[in-house]
Amino acid sequence: MKRAFLITGAEGCGAMVVTRAVCSAGVYGDYGHVQRLDDADFEAAPDGIVLRRSCPHGGVWPDLAELVGRMREAGYVVVPVLVMRNVIMNIEAQVRHGYVETHRMAHDSIVRANGWVFSKLAEVGLYPEVVCFEAFVLDGEVRRVFFERLGLDGPEMEFFDPVSRYRTDQEELRVES
C-alpha cells in the first residue's frame, strides 16, 4: 500500500521537526524549506512519502484538498498530520522567525491556519492525526504511540526542549492589539 504523510500546521508549530522524525523513520521526503516533492509530482515517488506544508506556505495558503487529490491520483492513501503547539510559544516563534510582525498577527495566523487545515481536509473526507509538538519532543512514550498510529518504527534521534528558549520570556509573551 502506498502511503503519503501530509504534515501540516501553522508556521512555527514544529511541523519541520515532526517531518524530520518521519523522514528519519525511513519515509522518503525532506523536512527543510526546499523539498524534493515540492513540485507535487507524486507519480514517480516511492511507496512511502512525507510532505510538509505549513499554513501559509511561502506566503500562500496551500490548497490541501487539491494536494490530497493529487496524492490520491498517484495511488496513495493519505495520512494527514496536524502539528499543534502551545499557542504562546507558537506566537513567539512566528514573530522571532519573521513570519509576521506582531503578536496579534501571529495569533490571527495560527487561528486561521488551524481552521484552514480542518476545513480543507474535510473537503476530501479526511480528519488529521493531531500531535502536540511539546509532548512529541519531550515524551518518548508520546512519540512511540504517534509512530505506532502511523504504522512506522520510531527513529532513534535526539530532540531539543522546545520550551526552554521561551521560559525566561513567558511573562512578557502576550497577544498585542
Contact 49, 75 (CB under 8 A): no
What's the CA gap between 46 and 121, in Å, rounded? 23
Series of mean pLDDT values for 10-residue runs along the chain (177 residues): 97 95 94 76 91 91 96 98 96 93 96 98 98 94 96 86 63 44
Residues pairing with 129 in the sheet: 81
Residues 134 and 123: their CA atoms lie apart, in Å, by: 29
Domains present along the chain, CATH in parentheses = 2-160 (3.40.50.300)
Q: What integer pLDDT is reported at residue 168 of this predicted model?
A: 55
Is residue 171 packed enough to be buried (19+ CB in 10 Å), middle (13-18) or exposed (0-12)? exposed
Torsion sign over Cα 4, 132, 66, 125: positive
Which pLDDT value is given to residue 167?
Answer: 59
Gyration radius from the chain CA atoms:
16
Task: Answer for the pair 101, 28: CB distance below 8 angstroms, yes or no.
Answer: no
Give the span between the Cα atoms of 123 and 82, in whole angstroms: 16
CB 120 within 8 A of CB 64: yes
What integer pLDDT is reported at residue 150 of this predicted model? 97
Question: What gap in Å lies between CA 106 and CA 104, rounded to an integer?
Answer: 5
Q: pLDDT at position 176, please?
A: 43
In the three-class reduction of DSSP (H, G, I as helix; E, B as strand; rest coil), residue 147 is classed as helix
pLDDT score recorded for residue 141: 95
Query: Helix, strand, or coil here: 95?
Result: helix
The candidate with the shortest Cα–Cα distance to 11, out of 63, 41, 54, is 54
